């Protein structure tokens, strides 16, 4: 996600940029102090969202919004101002939102959750993109990771479902082999599918995704991009992607919405 922040007051711009980064840590934020700089940038670059101060000296923010939309009619414009009388002007330019100063990360996050034109996540831009809505699949730089054993893929799915919580071999056995007693044979098989899973991840250059301790395995949530995790953070694109199906190839998988 690429976001432009524009305000001709240095301190106000710094507060705006810091608030955006706090609300959306993974976003690329580019800041400008004049409308001309914004338009020069947009003439050669794309952008998903613009936060414009309305009362800039060189160009009114409303005017800047009209000019910006000439480059991309679907760009999300969010106005930032200390006054409320511009609401009608914001409506006429089909702005996505309106933030009254003082700017905070909470206010920014609320606008990002309710964009007029939701920003689609590009799985190609992430080292690891995990799709849990519908069927479970894992992508490395946009390419699907192939697992030689279906159980290895299922093991990874279960670790991702646990969101970083550690699981023992016995717990894994109760999920993957619910009708079998946990014995040495089952333990050895779990060791085998774990090795196959990590081999597939290592071949894709994703060896840091799984954490192994003496008594448990876990996923490292900070190393992956996951639609379910984004859903629980309130991200619009993930909410829209959820159609009531979660890892549907696995009978143990359930997803309870707590929103």
CATH number of the domain located at residue range(s) 2-113 in this protein = 3.40.50.2300
Q: What is the pLDDT of residues 23-71, one digit of tens each?
A: 888 789 999 999 999 999 999 998 999 999 998 988 889 999 999 999 9
- 41/158 Cα distance (integer angstroms): 44
According to CATH, where is 3.40.50.2300 located in the chain? Answer: 2-113
pLDDT of res. 24? 87
Q: Cis link prior to 184 (omega < 30° from 0)? A: no
Tokens standing for 201?
Answer: 């991840």
| Prediction pTM value | 0.60
**Residue 251 above 90 pLDDT?**
yes
Rg (CA), the chain: 23
pLDDT of res. 142? 81
According to CATH, where is 1.10.10.10 located in the chain? Answer: 126-241
Give the CATH fold of the 126-241 domain. Answer: Arc Repressor Mutant, subunit A (1.10.10)
């Amino acid at each position: 996600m690429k976001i432009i922040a524009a305000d001709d007051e240095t301190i106000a711009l710094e507060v705006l940029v810091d608030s955006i980064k706090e609300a959306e840590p993974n976003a690329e934020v580019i800041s400008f102090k004049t409308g001309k700089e914004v338009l020069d940038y947009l003439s050669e670059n794309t952008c998903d969202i613009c936060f414009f101060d309305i009362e800039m000296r060189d160009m009114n923010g409303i005017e800047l919004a009209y000019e910006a939309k000439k480059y991309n009619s679907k760009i999300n414009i969010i106005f930032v101002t200390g006054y409320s009388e511009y609401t009608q002007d914001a409506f006429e330019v089909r702005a996505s939102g309106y933030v009254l100063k003082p700017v905070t990360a909470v206010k920014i996050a609320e606008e990002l959750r309710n964009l007029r034109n939701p920003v689609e996540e590009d799985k190609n831009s992430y080292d690891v993109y995990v799709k849990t809505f519908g069927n479970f699949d894992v992508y490395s730089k946009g390419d699907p990771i192939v697992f030689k054993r279906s159980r290895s893929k299922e093991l990874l799915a279960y670790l991702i479902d646990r969101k970083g919580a550690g699981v023992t071999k016995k717990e894994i056995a109760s999920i993957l082999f619910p009708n079998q007693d946990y014995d040495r044979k089952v333990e050895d098989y779990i060791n085998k599918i774990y090795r196959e899973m990590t081999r597939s991840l290592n071949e894709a250059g994703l060896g840091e995704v799984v954490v192994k301790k003496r008594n448990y395995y876990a996923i490292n949530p900070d190393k992956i991009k996951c639609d379910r995790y984004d859903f629980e953070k309130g991200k619009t694109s993930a909410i829209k992607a959820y159609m009531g199906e979660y890892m549907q190839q696995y009978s143990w998988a359930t997803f309870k919405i707590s929103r």
